[in-house]
Structure 1
Amino acid sequence: MPPVKQRAATVTENGVTFGLADVPKPGPGQILVKVVAAAQNPTDWKTLGRALKAGNYGGIVGNDFAGVVEELGIDVPKGVNVGQRVAGFIRGVLGPNGSFSEYLVADAERVIVPIPESWPYEDAAQLGVAPLTALQCLHQSLQLPSPFDASSGPQRDILIWGGASSVGQYAIQFAKLNGFRVLTTASPKNFDLVKGLGADEVFDYRDENVAENVRSATGNALDIAIDTISEGGTTQQVPAAIGDKGGKVAIILPYESPRQDVKVVFSGAYTLLDRVRLPRFFCPSRSSWYIDLLSKILSTGNIKPNPVLIQPNGIAGVKDGLQYMVEGKVSGQKITYRIADTPQI
């Protein structure tokens, strides 16, 4: 039986505080997961910031997780069993259920990905927001077929801006499965990383002529791209890299296109948990399709996880891990917390 109380990183007036919280109970269609490792995403600190601004305290931080099914709620789909290794994501911060904790509850059908046998929990903890967002960008926003349904034909170019980001690393690999010639941007120190994932051409995103260089490399004919940053200068640079005939850009944060002939389409992993309305954007969910596709892709054995950066002290180190990301120090790595590294209270 799980305990009544657990160690967790919670939202308080002082930001993130390591302390005790109640262990959640699984409802209909839900499972209780004993968390082994949890991975960090930019959405963690951004959602935290909004909660602090609104004075919403008490929620548990964290989205991505990997662990073991501890308990089943009623009406859980067949095939999900106690003791099973699972990964996925939930929506942390907003309530008493987050991944930076010892236990969490998750929807068994919408967010659970069976962990490949060759993946340790530290790698599997990232099988949530990033890979599912990458799949949404390709197959929801850009409306590309599944790599298992794609018919052979002339190789097509795609630009993935921010190839060393967590979403970018998965997007490169998934696009290669679809047969694309992948162009990406990164800092020079991460060129080898993205080339090792399959990128065909890499450009320094700090180069003031980067958009023109991409246009030149694609014969001014590029018509699809993924903007894995979607803020700051990328809102101008990525549409600028599209050729003269126009095209479409998948974005992960809402913004308006600076070009009438370039359409931007928002995708967000939270829409796989529920319908999400944002200003001028509305995204329906197809959660089971993306979960099934990710599981099938992982079963090929050809996907590499983001390089993992283990944060010391488990979930007691979440405050420092978030600050490290806020300061822009994360580059080409996935901050990950081992629950077993957490000190006792």
Structure 2
Amino acid sequence: MTEQNSALWLPKRGTRFEVGPAAYTPAAQGEVVVRVRAVAVNPVDAIPGLAYRLVLPWLTFPAVIGSDVAGEVVETGPGVTRVKPGDRVLGHAFGVEKSQNRAAEGAFQHYVVLMQHMLSPLPDTLPFEQAAVLPLTLSTAATGMFQKDHLALALPTVSAADRSETVLVWGASTSVGSSAVQLARNAGYRVVATASPRNFDYVRSLGAAEIVDRNSSTAVAELVERIGESPLAGTLAIGNGSLKPTIAVAARTTGSKRVASAMPSLFVRMGARRASRLGVTVSGIWGGTLKDNEIGPAIYADFLPAALASGVFRAAPDASVVGHGLDAIPEALRQLKQGVSAKKLVVTL
């Protein structure tokens, strides 16, 4: 391959991004090279440089970060059977993961290396910029919901039978929550959720049966009432301030006392100590672990392709395109720091 690659580099901790040339890395065993057409940005991409020492202490610099990719397959490595050159795909890039830790697998470049089992073909009707909203948030939701060390829920299918259990999703209008509500419904669970009132209709459209204002002073009591006699299958806590009320709900309802949290690990550890006194177990989600177990292929290979094609799962929330080109990504990160609601910021390449 002779493709000319370029990337958005983070030269070292605490420095500004720089666009520059990058090596084109061929696909190895089980790998796929994708020509990136759209990327999305996530809070982990926008943390201050010095904070990388706490969140990603292993990261080697100069680094190419980013997780959310949509584009076209240009090369497949030995053992790849699911896709071929020319296929349109979305995928989760793992360049910042401790086990990978290489620039070739960071999303913010024109040619990225992805794992075969962590990508999904796209229906022709799904634009790249909308597909790019999914990977990291889908992986985070799926990790918390289906891994055995978290909620251990039944896996989703395109035609799941209804179950007599409820899943609570606190923060359902977030990107992670948008995937979580849909995954739970496609696994047959009834969903009770929280969101801001302006996003109630949006969360309802994803499949939530009951929604409570997350800012209500009586949110815990309202959730307990809405859950009713249906036993909880598990609880997903997403966003600032989510742990305390979800622990309270789990303690006051029947069924599973497990809460999976997408909060930073320090908050999870503090919440876990409080929860244990109430008989509730709290676990902290790291959205990259599913690549190393059965959940990754169960979602990206077995469920997502057919679910997107049939429309039972949609790429949500809506994409908001900030600009075009690698040099537009820092502006997307700046806007992300200011806060977004029920949308995800995307850059086309």
Quick check: TM above 0.5?
A: yes
In the alignment, is the contact (CA less than 8 A) between 1:139 and 1:146 conserved in 2? yes
Counterpart Cα distance in 2 of 1:286 and 1:172: 17
Q: How many residues are aligned here?
A: 325
- The residue that corresponds to 1:136 in the other structure is 143
Three-state SS of the structure 2 residue aligned to 1:302 is coil
TM-score by length of 1: 0.84
Deviations 1:240-298 (A, max 9, x none): 12225561112234414222211223443311334xxxxxxxxx554222322223332
Counterpart Cα distance in 2 of 1:286 and 1:188: 33
Deviations 1:166-207 (A, max 9, x none): 111111122222333321111222122111212222222122
Determine which structure has the larger helix proportion and give its number. 2
- Structure 1 residues 160 and 11 mapped into 2: Cα distance closer, same or farther (>3 Å)? farther
- The residue that corresponds to 1:60 in the other structure is 64
* 1:113 positional shift: 0.9
Matched, 1:251 2:261: yes
- The residue that corresponds to 1:279 in the other structure is none
Three-state SS of the structure 1 residue aligned to 2:27 is coil
- Structure 1 residues 51 and 148 mapped into 2: Cα distance closer, same or farther (>3 Å)? closer
* 1:68 positional shift: 0.9
* 1:63 positional shift: 0.8
In the alignment, is the contact (CA less than 8 A) between 1:31 and 1:76 conserved in 2? no
Q: How do 1:197-236 residues align onto structure 2 when only pairs under 5 Å count?
A: 197-219=206-228, 223=232, 224-229=234-239, 232-236=240-244
Structure 2's unaligned 5+ residue stretches are: none
* 1:9 positional shift: 4.4
Counterpart amino acid of residue 235 in structure 2: A
Identity percentage of aligned residues: 26
- The residue that corresponds to 1:308 in the other structure is 319
Which among 156, 165, 186 is matched to residue 156 of structure 1? 165
Counterpart Cα distance in 2 of 1:58 and 1:297: 38
Which among 262, 287, 295 is matched to residue 296 of structure 2? 287
- The residue that corresponds to 1:3 in the other structure is 3
In the alignment, is the contact (CA less than 8 A) between 2:19 and 2:326 conserved in 1? yes
Structure 1's unaligned 5+ residue stretches are: 275-283, 340-345
Counterpart amino acid of residue 346 in structure 2: T
- Structure 1 residues 7 and 183 mapped into 2: Cα distance closer, same or farther (>3 Å)? same
Matched, 1:89 2:92: yes
- Structure 1 residues 236 and 11 mapped into 2: Cα distance closer, same or farther (>3 Å)? farther
